[in-house]
Amino acid sequence: MSVRWVVGVDIGGTNCVVAAVPFQGGMPAAVRALPTRPQRGPDAAVADIAAMAEEVIGEATGSEGGSRSDVLGVGIGCPGPLDLETGVIGATPNLGWEGYPIRDRIAEALGLPASLDNDANCATYGEWWQGAGRGTGSLVGVTLGTGIGGGFVEGGRILRGASGSACEIGHMTIALEGRRCGCGNDGCLEAYASGPAIAARAREGLREGHASILPELVDDLETLTAATVYEALTLGDAFAQDVMTETARLLAVGLANLVNLFNPEMIVVVGGVTRAGEHLFEPLRSEVRRRAFRSAVNACAIVPGALPDTAGVIGAAGVFVMERRR
């Protein structure tokens, strides 16, 4: 019997990634990516996605007697909020496609059944299905970038919640009297440990006069990003390590809460921040250990993702497989 395939689609504010993923699990046979350019509107992006999908399908099924009938469907990951019942996009700032029926438009364009879930759930599911979390009974994924999101997989199933918005990890209050967040809450984790928060912490320290290689890595302090801090870490910069240690201390508050609430076998952290490696993970594990319940900490591995560029697209395909096995 020939291999069966699922097309994974990972729609981001910057790029759209499309891949042919084996239904039984495994690495993608073919991957394509194009800039999303969301301001063009969703129809143009769907046309690009459909064209990339036909390419990866052709590449994946082109050998060993495969055919298009070996493609069982398409799994789509997209920034939320989403209406998972209807497959319609909500008020998503990065895209601006509110009200667009993304699931059905892609399904129609490809003539394939489609699933839809948010990007953080897909990245989490990808790491559980084919990445760092393979074989775990329960796993929390934490996606750390411009924002902080997450997902929870238990028994092979993603926790979606009553309105499809479970695991909004970034909007957990960790500071009672913390600053107001755009979401309306105060003291959200996202304000303390996201990529922009890391960059802001670094800029603040530099303005206070801390010695560092960081100013040499950027033209202007305003263009300094979290990625600049990761670069300085690899160059042995002590101030960059201080910034990362403080970030780890704050992120650990959120992760300790996740350990005490979900008691998972693993927390997998995905996103650019994993480039900080043990500069992040060593102080992170140490502080989570101090804060969370001993038995729960002992049961929980805290690790970086194993699929830095493809967790989202693999997980999007994985969610389609999960729904088929419901």
Residues in contact with a copy of itself by the rule CB under 8 A: 81, 137-138, 154, 159-169, 171-178, 183-187, 192, 250, 253, 256-258, 260-265, 290-293, 295-296, 298-300
Closest distance of CB 136 from a copy of itself, Å: 9
Our CB check for a copy of itself shows the closer of 68 and 290 to be 290
240 to 74, 146, 218, 264, 279: CA distances (angstroms): 42, 19, 14, 31, 9
Closest distance of CB 171 from a copy of itself, Å: 5
Our CB check for a copy of itself shows the closer of 45 and 193 to be 193
179 to 2, 208, 269: CA distances (angstroms): 56, 21, 25
Q: Which residues of 234-270 are buried (b: 16+ CB within 10 A; e: fewer)?
A: eeebebbbebbbbbbbbbbbbbbbbbeebbbbbbbbb
SS3 category, 114: strand
SS3 category, 305: coil
Closest distance of CB 272 from a copy of itself, Å: 23
Q: Of 53, 247, 25, whose CA–CA distance to 131 is shortest? A: 25
Closest distance of CB 200 from a copy of itself, Å: 16
Closest distance of CB 228 from a copy of itself, Å: 26
Residues 6+ apart with CB under 8 A from 28: 8, 19, 20, 21, 56, 310, 313, 314
Our CB check for a copy of itself shows the closer of 104 and 154 to be 154
Our CB check for a copy of itself shows the closer of 117 and 168 to be 168
Closest distance of CB 293 from a copy of itself, Å: 6
Closest distance of CB 93 from a copy of itself, Å: 14
Our CB check for a copy of itself shows the closer of 77 and 90 to be 90
Closest distance of CB 248 from a copy of itself, Å: 14
Closest distance of CB 85 from a copy of itself, Å: 12
Our CB check for a copy of itself shows the closer of 47 and 261 to be 261
DSSP line for 26-95:
-S-SEEEEEE--GGG-HHHHHHHHHHHHHHHHHHHHSSTT--GGGEEEEEEEE-S-EETTTTEE---TTT
Angle formed by the axes of helices 311-324 and 119-130, nearest 10°? 80
Our CB check for a copy of itself shows the closer of 16 and 191 to be 191
Our CB check for a copy of itself shows the closer of 65 and 184 to be 184
Our CB check for a copy of itself shows the closer of 146 and 263 to be 263
- Decide if 177 contacts 198 (C-beta within 8 A): no
- Decide if 313 contacts 10 (C-beta within 8 A): yes
Q: Given CA atoms 201, 231, 276, 238 in this order, what sign does their dihedral have?
A: negative
